[in-house]
Amino acid sequence: MATRLAHAGIVKIGQVAVENRFGAPVRLVFLIPAGVALLAGLDAALTLLGLPAPVRLDRLPAVHGQLMVLGFVGTLVALERAVAVGRRSAYLAPALLGAGAVALLSPAPLVVGRVLQLGGTVALLALYRAVWRRQAARAVAVQAAGAFAAVGAALLACAGVPVPVLAPWLVVFLVLTVAGERLELMRVAAPPTSVEVTLLGTALALLAGAAIALLSPRLGGAVLGVSLLVLSALLLRHDVARRTVRADGQRRFMAVAMLAGFGWLAVAGGIWLTMGTVVAGPGYDAVLHAVFLGFVISMVMAHAPVILPAVIRRPLPYRPLMYGPLVLLHASLAVRLLVGDAWAVGPAVQAGGVANIVAVLGFLGVAVGSIVVARRPPRAAVPHVAVAAVTS
């Protein structure tokens, strides 16, 4: 239903259907800076791993985190929200986040990019106000708490706080964005109110943990760690993925990607709980990438066949080939974190890191190929029915 509506230029939020103000070609333009941020971020990742990179720019390694979190994933999140809200002004959020990423790569002073990203996060928070007016639900509150964390991260960056210190805010942003969306879908199965309340409480605890960590990394780490462990357990226990993993095709693929992601969230929680919010070394690499690659990118892979068609109005049919990059992502992350970081084996970190990059690029290739093939008449693939695919 959602995809059919999206293909007709209509997106449904809660019970309200709104007309989209920008057509697919214009919306595609917003994806360009996100793509640039991803490619530049991956290039920077090679340099951070101590390996040769195709492009060598002095500032690239220093902006890898902001490019990936706010530039790439942040722009995608804001674009998806803007499409759902449907107003022209809603596109300010993805536009500013994308422009911020481009500015970070340009010769302009870094503060220009950071201020643009701050504007983008504030606009994203404002988007949730519009969503809240239509649907005052705990799931929206959780996502808005995530956007609030994004504003916090961007504000701290503008104030010159180093990324390792503000990193928990970046983590909270994306974790709560995903958790809120999953809660929205959980409601279809009518979980006990206590689940929704606990999830909202966990969201607030994560925000508190990020704030405390600025003053006391040990205590903040403990709050963040316990919160991530609780969140992981809640999602593993109540998410619809537990049921849909027994289905087949796209639904199973999505469920596998999500359940694996929930597992990595627990790994990150365990690291923060035992080590505090580390700002360098193997623990730092492990906690960040357990969340950003194991949880977030796995979620991006899971949701791409559902969300991208709504944004670009082209079908992105599921292909069994998608398991290749997904399995590579999780296997290589295990090598990088559980062998490389845990046992201080540098080559395992490097090999795992490179395979992480191959997995991300591989999924991009499969997704683009799938879109192109699906457009070819007369055997164009029928778009999947998004919401039914996720919830049934």
CB of residue 56 vs ligand HEM: minimum separation in angstroms?
A: 16
Least distance from ligand HEM to the Cβ atom of residue 76, Å: 10
Cα distances (angstroms) measured from residue 344 to each of 61, 320, 340, 354, 357: 21, 35, 5, 17, 20
Binding-site residue total for ligand HEM (CB under 6 A)? Answer: 25
CA distance 117 to 119: 5
Contact 348/336 with Cβ under 8 angstroms?
yes
**Hey, which residues does 12 pair with through a beta bridge?**
17
Q: What residues between 266 and 295 interact with ligand HEM by CB under 6 A?
A: 284-285, 288-289, 292-293
Q: Answer yes or no whether residue 326 interacts with ligand HEM by CB under 6 A.
A: no
Find the residue with minimal CB distance to ligand HEM.
65
Asked if 38 and 292 count as a contact pair (C-beta separation under 8 A), the reply is: no
The amino acid occupying position 331 is A
Residue 206 near ligand HEM by CB under 6 A: no
170 part of the interface to ligand HEM, by CB under 6 A: yes
CA angle, 70 then 71 then 72, to 5°? 100
CB 63 to ligand HEM: min, Å: 8
Q: Is 167 in the site for ligand HEM (CB under 6 A)?
A: yes
- Show the DSSP H helices in the chain as ranges: 2-7, 24-48, 60-66, 75-85, 92-105, 110-134, 138-158, 163-186, 193-215, 217-238, 241-244, 249-275, 282-289, 298-312, 323-334, 346-375, 386-391
Asked if 303 is part of the footprint of ligand HEM (rule: CB under 6 A), the reply reads: no
Q: Is residue 69 near ligand HEM by the rule CB under 6 A?
A: yes
Q: Could you tell me if 8 and 28 are in contact, meaning their C-beta atoms sit under 8 angstroms apart?
A: no
**Residue 130 to residue 337: CA distance in whole angstroms:** 40
Residue partners of 278: CB distance under 8 A and separation at least 6 = 217, 221, 271, 284, 287
Task: State the binding string over 363-392 for ligand HEM (x if CB under 6 A, else -).
Answer: ------------------------------
CA dist 192 and 173 (Å) reads 25
Binding window for ligand HEM (CB under 6 A); candidates: 21-29, 143-151, 159-167, 226-234 = 159-167
Look at residues 267, 282, 278 and name the one whose alpha carbon lies nearest to residue 345: 282
When the beta carbons of 297 and 310 are compared against ligand HEM, the nearer one is: 297
Assess 164 for contact with ligand HEM (CB under 6 A).
yes
Q: Which of 3, 30, 37, 64 binds ligand HEM (CB under 6 A)?
A: 64
Which of 11, 18, 42, 97 is close enough to bind ligand HEM by CB under 6 A? Answer: 42
Q: How far apart are CA 126 and CA 116, in angstroms?
A: 15
Select from 1-9, 163-171, 185-193, 256-264 the region that touches ligand HEM (CB under 6 A): 163-171
- Shortest distance in whole angstroms from residue 94 CB to ligand HEM: 16
Binding of residue 68 to ligand HEM (CB under 6 A): yes
Residues 339-358 that bind ligand HEM (CB under 6 A): 353, 356-357
User: ω into residue 378 within 30 of 0, thus cis?
Assistant: yes
Chain residues binding ligand HEM by CB under 6 A are 42, 45, 48-49, 64-65, 68-69, 73, 163-164, 167, 170, 284-285, 288-289, 292-293, 296-297, 353, 356-357, 360
